Amino acid sequence: MAAERTIFHADLDAFFVAVERVLDPSLIGKPVIVGGLGPRGVVATASYEARKFGVRSAQPMAVARRRCPHAVYLRGNREKYSEFSHRFFNLLDEFSPTVVHVSIDEAYMDMTGSERLFGAPKHVAENIRQRTKQELGIAVSIGIGPSKLVAKMASEEAKPDGVFEVLPDEVEAFMASKPVRAMPGIGPKSAAALSELHIETLGQLAAHPVGPIRRALGPNIAGWLQLRAKGIDNSPVAERSKARSISAETTFAEDISAQDEMLDVICHLSEKVGRRLRSSRMYARNVSLKLRYPDFETITRQVTLQQMVDGDDVITSAARELLQKALAQRSGAVRLLGVGVSGLGERAAQLSLLDAAVQKDSAISGALDAVRGRFGDDAVRRGS
Ligand code: TTP
Ligand code: MG
C-alpha cells in the first residue's frame, strides 16, 4: 500500500466579483455580474446573489440580463485579476513546495507530510483561508482529500467560504451519493448516455457491470471512470514531464522578408511554447531559435537565461533577440521560423526568489492561459 496522501484543492469564491468588491466595497451584498458587455458578450462570473437567479459563467449576457436585470454589470479588469491571482499563489507557496496552478484562481497543493510542520490539515486549511481573507480581502474554499479528484470535489462541497475534508475511509461514501455530473470529466453527453443505463449517481456507476458502460462511452474510459467513481485517483499533484525540450515552428507558404512580420511570428510561437511549458508545469533555462532560409540553409541559435522562466514575455524577447542577431549575420527572406525552450526543470520551490518581473510575467501568462483555454488561442494577446 502506498502511503496516504493529503491533497488540497483551493479555489477562490466568485473570483472576478470578489476582486471587484475589494476595489469597490459598495458592491458587497449586491448581485454583481462580470463579463463581456457587448451584444455577444458572455458572463465570466456572477456573484452568489446573482447565481440564485440562474446566472452562470459562460452564459450569454443577454440571458443574464433577463434573469437578473437588477444586478450590477461590470466589464472587469484583467490586470487586477492577474495581480490577485499572483498574490494568492504566492501565499499558497508558503504552505507547500508543490503547488500546481490549474487556472487563474485554483490550485492543487500536495500537503502530504506537512502535519509536523503546520498541524492538522483542517487547521492548515483554515489558516490559509484566514490569511487569504486578511491579505487579499477575498474568500477561498478548500477541499481536502487523499487524491486530486476527491480534493477537487470536496472544494465544491466547501463552497462558498469553507473547508471540507474527506478522510480516506469516507471517500467511497462521499462519492457514492453524488450525481454523475459532479465528477470532473463527465459532461452532459456522457451523463445522458449513463442515464440511458439508469446510472444517475457515482455509486451506481461504480457498481454497474462494465460491459454496457464500455459500449455506451467507449472501451478506454469505462474502466477508468468506474475507478474514479469510487474516488480512486493516483495521479501525482505535479506531473513529471519527460519532455526535455518544447518547441513550435512554422513554415511559410511564401517566404517572408519583412522583419516586423518575423517578429510577430516569433511572438506567436513563443506564446505557444510558453503555454505548453506552463501546462506541463515546467520552467526553462534556455531559449532557442530555428531559422531556415529559402535555400534551405538552417541555423539554430540558443541563449541561456539568468534564471528559470515560464512566461511568454521573457521567451518572446529572448527569441526576438536571437532573430535579430541571426539576421545581422545573414539577412533576407526566411522560409521557416521556430522557437524552443530546453533545460527544463520543475517549478522551483523557491519561486519567491525569482525576480519580480519574471514572476509577474509568469503570473500574467498563466492567467491568459486560463482565458485562452476557455475561449481559444487567439482570445487574448498581450500588448507589448
Ligand atoms: P471559477 O473558479 O470557475 O469560478 P468563480 O471563482 O467565479 O466561482 P466559484 O469558484 O466560487 O464557483 O473561475 C474563476 C474565474 O475565471 C471567474 O471568476 C471568472 C473566470 N471565468 C471566465 O472568465 N469564464 C468562465 O467560463 C469561467 C467558468 C470562469
Ligand atoms: Mg473560483
Are residue 132 and residue 206 in the same domain, yes or no? no
- Name the catalytic one among 20, 49, 106, 271: 106
- 81-86's contacts with Cβ under 8 Å and 24+ in sequence apart are 81/15, 81/16, 81/19, 81/367, 82/363, 82/364, 82/367, 83/363, 84/15, 84/19, 84/22, 84/136, 84/138, 85/15, 85/363, 85/366, 85/367, 86/359, 86/360, 86/363, 86/364
Q: Number of folded domains in the chain?
A: 3
Q: Ligand 2: distance of its center to the CA of 173 in Å?
A: 25
For residue 11, is it within any domain?
yes
Are residue 127 and residue 180 in the same domain, yes or no? no
Per-residue pLDDT of the chain (384 residues), as tens digits, is: 457 899 999 999 999 999 999 999 999 999 999 999 988 899 999 999 999 999 999 999 999 999 999 999 999 998 899 889 989 998 998 898 788 888 889 999 999 988 888 889 999 999 999 999 999 999 999 999 999 999 999 999 999 999 999 999 999 999 999 999 999 989 899 999 999 999 999 999 999 999 999 999 888 789 889 999 999 999 888 865 456 788 999 989 899 999 999 999 999 999 999 998 888 778 898 999 999 999 989 999 999 888 888 999 999 999 999 999 999 999 999 999 999 998 887 755 445 556 777 778 887 888 787 776 655 555 555 554
Q: Residue 371: give its domain's CATH number.
A: 3.30.1490.100
Q: In this structure, is the dihedral angle defined by the CA atoms of residues 358, 360, 365 and 369, taken in order, positive or negative?
A: positive
Q: Residue 12: what are its φ and ψ, rounded to 5°?
A: -65, 145
Are residue 16 and residue 151 in the same domain, yes or no? yes
Are residue 89 and residue 183 in the same domain, yes or no? no
Q: Ligand 2: distance of its center to the CA of 223 in Å?
A: 30
Grid coordinates given for 314: 521573457
Are residue 95 and residue 46 in the same domain, yes or no? yes
For residue 380, is it within any domain?
no
Residue 106 designated active-site: yes
Are residue 26 and residue 115 in the same domain, yes or no? yes
Residue of 11, 12, 13, 15 with the most ligand 1 atoms within 8 Å of its CB, for mutation: 15
**Residue 105: exposed, middle, or buried by beta-carbon count in 10 A (0-12, 13-18, 19+)?**
buried
Are residue 160 and residue 62 in the same domain, yes or no? yes
Phi-psi region of 113 (alpha: psi -120 to 50; beta: other; left: phi over 0): left
Question: What residue owns the CA closest to ligand 1's atom 24?
Answer: 44
What pTM did the predictor assign?
A: 0.67
57 pocket-lining for ligand 1 (C-beta < 6 Å): yes
Grid coordinates given for 330: 545573414
Range of the domain at 343: 245-375
For residue 66, is it within any domain?
yes
For residue 154, is it within any domain?
yes
Are residue 41 and residue 76 in the same domain, yes or no? yes
Are residue 14 and residue 85 in the same domain, yes or no? yes
Q: Ligand 1: distance of its center to the CA of 171 in Å?
A: 26
For residue 267, is it within any domain?
yes
Exposed e or buried b per residue across 364-375, where buried means at least 16 C-beta atoms within 10 angstroms of its C-beta: bbbbbbbbbeee
